[in-house]
């Protein structure tokens, strides 16, 4: 049996102001049953709790204060889970509810517990329905969007394919709602700066993600060796067609076989809020991407932001494109003084001597994107 993770956006599963789209869930359940006969297990990462709970609590629009959002999530998650359960049971399928925050995957032990639980649920023939635990999550432990969460779940579940069902049928060269000349892109082999620049904002009034979050998630999946697809939630039999090898939406094809990303590196990659960034020269960029090297101070040309040792940083090339993410071995003030200096020079400076014996970012604490 193969495993398919499907991420369902709020605008796909919830009708603004009126609750869960039962017709969509009924069709999803039918496809899940057919997928099972084709040798595929399904894991659903479903948005929509807040969008579902807001009208039930009398809100005409998505509230902005945290307590109200948490209340909407609490009420909406019950209604959403019940709808999944009722529709999937019509096809003899059992669903389960899995609510996660970043705390649940930040350490190796908690990551392994989450992985083992998901794996066992799938082994037992259950369709896990995963969502962020918005009732208790605060900014410090939020994934921020379910595109990121779907990438994490795909790595946890060892997925063979991750599918994002959205309100758009795939990736275009520009935002098609603003640029009528935008052209559809059927396959992406590498997510570079040009591809990221083509991403437009979400057109949905009920969701939090946009195309840029989907591309970032797909880039992580490509790094992990997991293919992914962005397709329209209205496309008929999209999941079944993909299981049969047919072309649907935009497919992101990894360049290598699936790789085992350690929990620590996965957490680094999926962190939404980097505390700062370093820019590296061409030689350092090549060493990171092609040689899997640690980042030394001599290769750093600029330091951005205020951060401490242990904080997550973006690593950018001269054009501003993010090549990697890693954990700083020194404070921003120290790296600002040390940048561009060789190890021998650092060893002769009593203020910077400690950095002569360690890199700015160690390769074990850094993930280089595909």
Note whether 289 and 252 are same-domain residues: no
Pairwise CA distance, residues 274 & 286, whole Å: 22
- CATH number of the domain that residue 327 is part of: 2.30.130.10
Specify if 269 maps to a domain.
Answer: no
Q: What is the pLDDT of residue 271?
A: 56
The total of structural domains in the chain comes to 2
Q: CA-CA distance, 337 to 82, in Å (whole number)?
A: 57
- Sorted by sequence, the CB contacts under 8 Å of residue 100 that are 6+ apart come out as 114, 130, 131, 132, 133, 143, 149, 152
Residues 246 and 279 placed together within one structural domain of the fold: no
> What pLDDT is recorded for position 137?
59
Judgement on whether residues 292 and 224 belong to the same structural domain of the protein: no
Examine the fold and report which residue of 264, 291, 306 is the final residue of a domain before the chain moves on: 264
pLDDT, tens digit, 9 for 90 and up, residues 170-200 = 999 888 888 889 899 999 998 888 888 777 5
- Residue 139 confidence (pLDDT): 52
Partners of 127 in the β-ladder: 95
> What's the CA angle centered on 147, arms 267 and 89, to 5 degrees?
110
Residue 49 has pLDDT above 60, yes or no: yes
Instruction: Give me the pLDDT at residue 206, please.
Output: 40
Structural contact between residues 228 and 156, judged by C-beta atoms closer than 8 angstroms: no
Q: Considering the domain boundaries, does residue 350 fall inside one?
A: yes
Model confidence pLDDT, tens digit, residues 97-146: 999 876 776 666 777 888 899 999 999 999 999 998 877 755 543 455 78
Can you give the CATH number for the domain in which 157 is found? 3.40.1160.10
Q: Verify that 65 and 101 share a domain, yes or no.
A: yes
Tokens representing residue 277 in the block: 């960034």
Q: Residue 201: is its pLDDT beyond 60?
A: no
Whether 66 maps to a domain, the answer reads yes
Residue 89 and residue 223 in one domain:
yes
51 and 168 in a single domain? The answer is yes
Q: Which residues of 212-251 are buried (b: 16+ CB within 10 A; e: fewer)?
A: bbbbbbbbbbbbbbbbbbbbbbeeeebbbbbbeeeebbbb
For residue 340, the enclosing domain spans 274-368
Instruction: Give the pTM.
Output: 0.85
Q: Quick count: other Cβ atoms within 10 Å of Cβ 337?
A: 18
Residues 285 and 221 in one domain: no
> Both 182 and 321 in a single domain?
no
Tell which of 244, 264, 284 closes a domain: 264
Distance between CA atoms of residues 177 and 186, nearest Å: 18
Domain edge (last residue) among 239, 264, 289: 264
Number of H helices, E strands in the chain: 13, 17
- The answer to the question of residue 246 being in a domain is yes
Q: What is the pLDDT of residue 200?
A: 55
* 290 lies in the same domain as 252: no
Residue 159 sits in the same domain as residue 221 = yes
Same domain, 279 and 232: no
Residue 207: which pLDDT band, with cuts at 50, 70 and 90?
very low
């Amino acid at each position: 049996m193969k495993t398919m993770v499907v991420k369902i956006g709020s605008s796909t599963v919830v009708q603004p102001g009126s609750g869960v789209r039962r017709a969509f869930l009924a069709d999803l359940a039918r496809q899940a049953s057919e997928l099972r006969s084709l040798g595929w297990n399904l894991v659903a990462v479903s948005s929509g709790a807040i969008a579902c709970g807001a009208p039930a609590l009398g809100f005409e629009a998505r509230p902005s204060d945290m307590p109200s959002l948490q209340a909407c999530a609490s009420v909406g998650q019950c209604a959403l889970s019940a709808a999944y359960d009722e529709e999937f049971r019509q096809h003899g399928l059992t669903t389960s509810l899995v609510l996660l925050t970043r705390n649940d995957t930040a350490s190796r032990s908690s990551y392994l517990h989450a992985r083992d639980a998901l794996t066992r649920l799938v082994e037992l023939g259950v369709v896990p329905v995963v969502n962020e635990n918005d009732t208790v999550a605060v900014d410090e432990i939020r994934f921020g969007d379910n595109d990121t969460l779907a990438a994490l779940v795909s790595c946890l579940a060892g997925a063979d394919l991750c599918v994002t069902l959205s309100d758009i049928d795939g990736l275009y060269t520009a935002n098609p709602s603003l640029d009528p000349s935008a052209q559809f892109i059927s396959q992406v082999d590498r997510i570079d700066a040009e591809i990221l620049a083509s991403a437009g904002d979400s057109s949905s009034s009920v969701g939090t993600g946009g195309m840029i979050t989907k591309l970032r998630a797909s880039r992580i999946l490509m790094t992990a060796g997991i293919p992914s697809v962005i397709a329209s939630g209205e496309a008929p039999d999209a999941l079944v067609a993909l299981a049969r090898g047919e072309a649907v939406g935009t497919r992101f094809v990894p360049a290598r076989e699936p790789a085992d990303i350690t929990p620590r590196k996965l957490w680094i990659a999926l962190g939404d809020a980097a505390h700062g960034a370093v820019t590296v020269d061409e030689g350092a960029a090549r060493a990171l991407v092609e040689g899997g090297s640690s980042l030394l101070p001599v290769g750093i040309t600029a330091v951005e932001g205020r951060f401490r040792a242990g904080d997550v940083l973006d690593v950018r090339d001269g054009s501003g494109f993010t090549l990697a993410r890693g954990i700083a071995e020194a404070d921003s003030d120290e790296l600002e003084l040390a940048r561009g200096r060789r190890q021998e020079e650092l060893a002769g400076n009593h203020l910077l001597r400690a950095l002569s014996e360690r890199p700015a970012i160690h390769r074990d604490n850094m993930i280089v994107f595909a």
